[in-house]
Structure 1
């Protein structure tokens, strides 16, 4: 049984055949539903120039959602440090923390947030990708600016996103809580978390290692229905395996007709081994096993499915099953 906080990552999928404005509307409704269901936090990912994922800045979505919810923690998962001036990030999230005390998180990541090289260079005003030293300096500067800005009485809670041992080591050396992207690089999870705990140095941000693990999760009344929900994301992943990020987020019906190569099927099967997928009983068991294997303090679920009602149902089924088991 799971006895730790459950949270959610919002990647704001733009569904094929629908305008992006519907994604924004659905995102707001999704946050309100999670707030009612008692999920701990909701983070927004930064993405650019993708037909499948909306280009909605995490700071804007966080501000909007904080005004329409009451208890759930909100923030970035994450803001991509190479794309932004550290002082700007610090000012934005410090202001949010002052407006919504004890509810704002600042998750910082390294990736460009895009699969398009031209867009990545535009975000950095033509500069090359950040080196390890530049990234560390950006993160450190952001933390320094959080402490040196005008005292607004509250600070956002900083986290470092990682999917590699190098990122995990950086989180540990800076004394930050870590959010590990198990949904992206599951083969790195155990080694990365071991490195994080080994390198951890207590700081004013955290006195001990704190681990959040993000896992791709699809829950439905039957396993067949859960597999169907996961189909659209399989199509997106197949494109990424070919170095292409230009696929729209398809309907389940379109995904069911998609013909995968043998190589793609093998890669998707490997990913599926690390998902939580199936009925509520199966998903909760899988989440519990992941929590035990990683020693996670918190699990964050990312559920990229086509319809809002199916996404909300997935989160509700999981919460209901856990509550019923607790009696």
Structure 2
């Protein structure tokens, strides 16, 4: 069995011509595959007002997938805490942990997970991210049964000790996770620039806590595995073309030629840079990349995100990773 646990970040994609219901069915398939093949956990991220991502009600999606699986750990990667009151999140994840003991994780981020207009629609205070560190501690108090608000408990939630993870793509998250003694998940699958510096900062500054005695790093990495290297690279190019429509065209569909022209231009380099850490190729190439990335990231665990656009290709990619990394031993 591989020494490094591997998990899945399910992006809950809504493909062209598909519906959110199709995405939810795919999420169940992915989690069942993860459970069957030896992945450590599956996480879902909170996004809003994005037509291609269906994980906006993250806790509800986790509940649905948990009801259709039996042992795989499931969680948020993550909940954007400034969008919510800590008490509500403690109640939601306390409910999940009560229904599915020892299976629920709670990763926390401080980004809005949306654009400015959507942020206002969420009734989010533009300055609420400033209180993220104290909000994390308030949430932790509810879940451990040591509420920081006199006379207020999370019911359900109190005493469930749902494990918390700090998500980040900068030194801020690394420093906070280290100060609170929490595991740190770095979003290197889309924000690669500060990976090595952030991980080094976290490990150097880590303070042990009741939850965690030693630093623990999860690093995100994209994966596109296929039977041939050529096919895998073609799938990666398809994914990058879609990102052109999402990020440059604001949803307008580009032809392949138009998208390729953007990707090959100076302005398209940023889109390519987002997927800088990507294991792409046949099974042997993917294994070699993931082994080297683990060392480069100084990671205790990897969390892989598929860049394949179809459910079939995503499932095949994750299955190949499980086989080649010998997850099921």
| TM-score computed with the length of structure 2 as normaliser | 0.89
| TM-score computed with the length of structure 1 as normaliser | 0.90
Report if the CA contact (8 A) 2:12-2:23 is conserved. Answer: yes
- Are 1:20 and 2:17 matched, yes or no? no
Cα separation, 2, equivalents of 1:276 and 1:49: 29
- Are 1:209 and 2:210 matched, yes or no? no
Q: Give how far 1:283 is off.
A: 0.9
Cα separation, 1, equivalents of 2:44 and 2:327: 29
Q: Give how far 1:265 is off.
A: 4.2
Partner residue of 2:230? 224
Cα separation, 1, equivalents of 2:287 and 2:110: 31
Report if the CA contact (8 A) 1:20-1:54 is conserved. Answer: yes
Partner residue of 1:154? 160
Q: Alignment partner for residue 281 of structure 2, among 260, 278, 281? A: 278
Where in structure 1 do 4 or more consecutive aligned residues deviate above 6 Å? none
Does the residue aligned with 1:60 lie in a helix, a strand or coil? helix
Partner residue of 2:318? 315
Q: Give how far 1:212 is off.
A: 0.5
Write out aligned runs for 1:241-256 (5 A). Answer: 242=248, 245-246=250-251, 255=256
Report if the CA contact (8 A) 2:82-2:124 is conserved. Answer: no
RMSD over equivalenced CA pairs, Å: 2.4
Instruction: Give the count of matched residue pairs.
Output: 318
Cα separation, 2, equivalents of 1:131 and 1:271: 24
Cα separation, 1, equivalents of 2:62 and 2:328: 32
Change (3 A) 1:272 1:105: closer
Report if the CA contact (8 A) 2:225-2:281 is conserved. Answer: yes
Change (3 A) 1:169 1:46: same
Partner residue of 1:120? 119
Gaps in structure 1 of 5+ consecutive residues? none
Cα separation, 1, equivalents of 2:231 and 2:205: 42
Cα separation, 2, equivalents of 1:96 and 1:47: 20
Change (3 A) 1:271 1:48: closer
Cα separation, 2, equivalents of 1:304 and 1:212: 19
- Are 1:175 and 2:167 matched, yes or no? no
Cα separation, 1, equivalents of 2:327 and 2:50: 40
Partner residue of 2:148? none
Write out aligned runs for 1:292-307 (5 A). Answer: 292-307=295-310
Does the residue aligned with 2:223 lie in a helix, a strand or coil? strand
Partner residue of 1:91? 91
Partner residue of 2:149? none
Single out whichever of 316-325 and 5-14 deviates more from structure 2: 316-325
